[in-house]
């Protein structure tokens, strides 16, 4: 009996010693933060490896602290304007376009944190975040809000800058965004609703998929003062609501922005589209999408450069003072980590249908 008592006492003392010795070390190497939906999350003091659950948040990290990314949600190896070291980032998949997260892949890569892009407008809720956290334990999951809201990218950018110790770059990106957003929205605010140009966002190879003004995917049209003509229901998280040719004819847009190269190349000679005002007036433009979409796909902070581009597409006469060439060069060099040349800038602009 005495032996058992002594053995128990020794085990208790050893456990106490372990707690006393280990706890301070654990505390020194971790910190507790409040994420963007109010959750308390314990994370490493220093973060060196990150995975995001979907493209908008992963691309925000790429723009703020790219070397911390150990994977991305799509394949970059064939993308243009991407440094070689980032082209080799593994494609870990994600929750975009209705896909499910590959938890085994995320766990096997052992990132310091996982970033979860949270946006109620895209159907997200806090229960989803907690479910991902449960499945990925003990990897901490940190929620980032408004990752797809083009009217409010600032808080997410600032949060990530603080979280990742990259405040200077985040502040610089926010200034770039704020200046463009205010310039464009202030200019178009004086346009009466009945004088706003009608814009159709054509998606798919036949141009007969789109996203309405209520969808984050079609949001930039309104930001830039256009009237999104698509009177359709908002699609799933991936968007792309189907429409008929008759609907597009009845909407008769002044401007068409195309998300698909095949459609853009064929629309001007397609007899089904010949009577639409945008086609007759040669006001059809191809949205730049390298390495990330400028208007959509995904609808994340990557769209910041799309704000001045789309403003010049819809209202060229109101934005003659925007130097798109200089803005593209600054954006790619500072925030997309690519030293773009003047020739490459001109190629992007002219390929989209604008004059460089």
Indicate whether 248 belongs to any domain: yes
C-alpha to C-alpha distance for 61 and 42, rounded to whole angstroms: 20
Same-domain check for residues 106 and 147: yes
Same-domain check for residues 210 and 136: no
Q: Is the backbone peptide bond immediately before 298 cis, with ω within 30 degrees of 0?
A: yes
Same-domain check for residues 253 and 309: yes
Task: Give the pLDDT confidence score for residue 238 in this predicted structure.
Answer: 74
Same-domain check for residues 119 and 51: yes
Indicate whether 171 belongs to any domain: no
Same-domain check for residues 149 and 286: no
Indicate whether 13 belongs to any domain: no
Indicate whether 152 belongs to any domain: yes
Total domains in the chain come to 2
Same-domain check for residues 152 and 194: no
C-alpha to C-alpha distance for 303 and 294, rounded to whole angstroms: 4
Same-domain check for residues 211 and 319: yes
Question: Please, is 4 exposed, middle or buried when counting C-beta atoms within 10 Å of its C-beta (0-12, 13-18, 19+)?
Answer: exposed
- For 249, residues 6+ apart whose C-beta sits below 8 A from its C-beta are 275, 276
Cα separation values, 306 from 159, 289, 309, 312, 342, Å: 22, 10, 5, 10, 18
Task: Give the pLDDT confidence score for residue 239 in this predicted structure.
Answer: 85
Question: What tokens does 170 get?
Answer: 């985040």
Task: Give the pLDDT confidence score for residue 6 in this predicted structure.
Answer: 41
Task: Give the pLDDT confidence score for residue 27 in this predicted structure.
Answer: 54
Question: pLDDT tens track of the chain, all 356 residues?
Answer: 444 434 343 333 333 332 233 233 345 799 999 999 999 999 999 999 999 999 999 999 999 999 999 999 999 999 999 999 999 999 999 987 667 899 999 999 999 999 998 876 655 678 889 999 999 999 999 999 867 899 999 999 999 999 999 999 999 999 999 999 999 999 999 999 999 999 999 999 999 999 999 899 999 999 999 999 999 988 766 789 999 999 999 999 999 999 999 999 999 999 999 999 999 999 999 999 999 999 998 899 999 999 999 999 999 999 999 999 999 999 999 999 999 999 999 999 999 999 97
Indicate whether 45 belongs to any domain: yes
Instruction: Point out the domain boundary residue: 129, 150, 165.
Output: 165
Question: Which DSSP string corresponds to 288-314?
Answer: P-SSS-SSSSS-SGGGGGHHHHHHHHH
Task: Give the Cβ contact number of residue 267 at 10 Å.
Answer: 21
Task: Give the pLDDT confidence score for residue 97 in this predicted structure.
Answer: 62
Same-domain check for residues 196 and 338: yes
Indicate whether 51 belongs to any domain: yes
User: How remote is the C-alpha of 225 from its chain's centroid?
Assistant: 21
Indicate whether 4 belongs to any domain: no
Buried b (16+ CB within 10 A) or exposed e, 231-259: ebebbebebbbebeeebbeebebbbbbbb
Q: Which of 295, 288, 147 minimizes the C-alpha distance to 211? A: 295
Record the pTM: 0.89
User: How remote is the C-alpha of 170 from its chain's centroid?
Assistant: 15
Provide the β-strand partners of residue 143. Answer: 116
Question: Which DSSP string corresponds to 50-102?
Answer: EEESSHHHHHHHHHH-GGGBS-BSS--TT-SS--HHHHTS-B---SGGG----
Same-domain check for residues 252 and 103: no
The crossing angle, in degrees rounded to 10, of helices 55-64 and 167-188 is 120
- Structural domain span for residue 271: 190-352
Same-domain check for residues 202 and 301: yes
Question: What tokens does 34 get?
Answer: 């409040």
Question: What tokens does 339 get?
Answer: 């030293």
Same-domain check for residues 151 and 195: no
Same-domain check for residues 107 and 46: yes
Indicate whether 243 belongs to any domain: yes
CATH number for position 78: 3.40.50.1980
Helices (H), the chain: 2-28, 55-64, 84-87, 103-109, 126-136, 154-163, 167-188, 219-223, 245-251, 261-266, 277-280, 306-314, 324-335, 342-352
């Amino acid at each position: 009996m005495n032996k058992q008592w002594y053995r128990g006492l020794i085990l208790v003392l050893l456990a106490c010693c372990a707690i006393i010795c280990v706890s301070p070390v654990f505390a020194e190497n971790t910190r507790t933060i409040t994420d963007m939906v109010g959750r308390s999350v314990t994370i490493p003091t220093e973060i060196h490896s990150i995975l995001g659950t979907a493209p908008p948040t992963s691309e925000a990290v790429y723009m703020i602290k790219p070397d911390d990314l150990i994977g991305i949600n799509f394949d970059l190896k064939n993308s243009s304007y991407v440094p070689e070291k980032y082209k080799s980032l593994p494609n870990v998949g994600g929750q975009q376009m209705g896909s499910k997260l590959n938890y085994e892949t995320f766990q096997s890569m052992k990132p310091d944190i996982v970033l979860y892009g949270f946006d109620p407008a895209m159907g997200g809720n806090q229960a989803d975040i907690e479910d991902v956290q449960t499945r990925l334990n003990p990897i901490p999951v940190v929620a980032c809000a408004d990752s797809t809201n083009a009217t409010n990218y600032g808080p997410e950018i600032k949060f990530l800058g603080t979280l990742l110790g990259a405040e200077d770059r985040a502040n610089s990106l926010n200034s770039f965004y704020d200046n463009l957003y205010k310039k464009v929205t202030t200019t178009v605010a004086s346009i009466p609703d009945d004088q706003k140009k009608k814009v159709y966002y054509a998606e798919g190879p036949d141009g007969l998929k789109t996203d309405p003004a209520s969808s984050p995917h079609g949001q930039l049209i309104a930001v830039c003062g256009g009237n999104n003509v698509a009177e359709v229901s908002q699609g799933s998280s991936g968007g792309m609501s189907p429409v008929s040719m008759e609907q597009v004819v009845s909407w008769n847009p002044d401007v068409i922005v195309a998300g698909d190269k095949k459609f853009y190349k064929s629309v001007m000679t397609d007899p089904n589209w010949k009577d639409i005002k945008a086609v007759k007036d040669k006001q059809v433009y191809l949205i730049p999408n390298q390495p990330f979409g400028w208007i959509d796909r995904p609808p994340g902070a990557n769209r910041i450069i799309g704000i001045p581009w789309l403003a010049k597409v819809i209202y060229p006469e109101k934005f003659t003072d925007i130097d798109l060439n200089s803005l593209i060069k600054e954006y790619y060099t500072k925030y997309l980590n690519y030293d773009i040349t003047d020739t490459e800038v001109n190629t992007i602009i002219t390929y989209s249908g604008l004059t460089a």
